[in-house]
């Protein structure tokens, strides 16, 4: 479970950053990366609250020596103290692996590197970032309409 968390996280992050660095102009990379980071980190408090509750109140009782899953899942990962959080990690890791496979199976996401134009570095960084973003959006829409 924990291996699945780390392996898929590293793969997704490496591909995401590579796409951002090649497809987004230098003048907009800060906005894109900071927005992504803000959205990702804003879910962490919810995850911390949910994980603690789920581990202590749901999965620990299920994986106790006399729990509901002790004779089924407990045969694979053991039962008793600490096995609830282990089951939670396995479930979350498995979910992330499934999510990575589903993302890879979705052709527009898989082919994004080939379908989107590479950013062309400008000699001058434009001061009006909103106008620059509108211009970049228009270029993508025009290219998408042509294809």
Q: What is the rounded CA–CA span in Å between residue 2 and residue 96?
A: 10
pLDDT digits (tens, 9 = 90+) for 134-146: 888 888 888 877 7
Confidence (pLDDT) at 124: 63
Domain span at residue 3? 1-42+118-147
Answer positive or negative: Cα dihedral of 103, 108, 109, 111.
positive
Cβ neighbors of 144 (< 8 A, separation 6 or more) are none
Please check whether residues 75 and 57 belong to one and the same domain: yes
Residue 31, φ and ψ in degrees, nearest 5: -65, -45
pLDDT digits (tens, 9 = 90+) for 51-106: 989 999 999 999 999 999 999 999 999 999 999 999 998 898 888 889 888 988 99
Please check whether residues 122 and 104 belong to one and the same domain: no
**C-alpha distance across the termini of the chain, in Å:** 41
Confidence (pLDDT) at 119: 87
Confidence (pLDDT) at 60: 94
Confidence (pLDDT) at 5: 66
């Amino acid at each position: 479970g924990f291996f699945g968390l780390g392996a898929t996280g590293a793969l997704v992050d490496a591909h995401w950053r590579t796409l951002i660095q090649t497809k987004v102009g230098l003048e907009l990379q800060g906005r894109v990366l900071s927005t992504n980071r803000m959205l990702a980190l804003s879910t962490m408090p919810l995850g911390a609250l949910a994980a603690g509750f789920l581990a202590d109140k749901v999965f620990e009782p299920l994986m106790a020596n006399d729990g509901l899953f002790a004779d089924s899942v407990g045969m694979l990962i053991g039962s008793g103290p600490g096995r609830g959080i282990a089951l939670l990690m396995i479930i979350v890791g498995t979910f992330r692996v499934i999510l990575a496979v589903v993302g890879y199976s979705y052709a527009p996401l898989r082919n994004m590197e080939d379908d989107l134009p590479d950013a062309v570095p400008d000699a001058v960084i434009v001061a009006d970032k909103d106008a620059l973003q509108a211009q970049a959006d228009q270029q993508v829409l025009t290219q998408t309409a042509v294809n």
